[in-house]
Amino acid sequence: MAATAKRPEIIELARGLNGVPVCEQYECMISGMMYNPNTPKLLEARHRCRGLTDDYNNLDTKTVPYDQIADKRMERLRALVGRVGDGTFVEPPFRPDYGSNLIIGSDCFVNWGPRHKSSRNRRPGTDRHECEHYHCRPRHQCAFPAEVCRIRPSYLH
């Protein structure tokens, strides 16, 4: 069942993320309320995400030395997602819905083919409980298996 009111704490968190399409429908979306995904700001945000995702997934590894690939990927990942911690690596292909709603913690490894339905803010790797379905290493390092699919939106804790 959809929420009936906006969640100010979620909206406030979102304002500090990279690439957030701040508008009325976005605030409804991340609060878990019914929203119109076809408003110009949300259409533009998905379009932006598709372009940045394409850049991330199609980095030509034949032209980038192996010892620079992690830095190049991190640069592109930071443009794509809301926030990402140091030491994180996401194997392509990576297919977020709204990349700006993803917060990825430090020292995460996400194997190839993850799909994130990110219409609400997600925090993989930032909270041990968030990662309960995945293999979590000591010190909250997180490893996501290949082709994991996260489509059940959940709220931030």
- For the chain, the average pLDDT equals 79
Locus of tokens 């199609």: 58
CA 102/CA 124 separation, integer angstroms? 8
- Is the pLDDT at 67 greater than 60? The verdict is yes
Confidence of residue 21 (pLDDT cuts 50, 70, 90): very high
Strand partners for 110: 90, 144
CA 94 to each of CA 47, 58, 61, 98, 140: distance values in angstroms, whole numbers, following the listed order: 15, 10, 16, 12, 22
Q: Where are the domains of the chain?
A: 8-114+132-150
Measured between alpha carbons, how far is 49 from 155 in angstroms, rounded to an integer?
Answer: 21
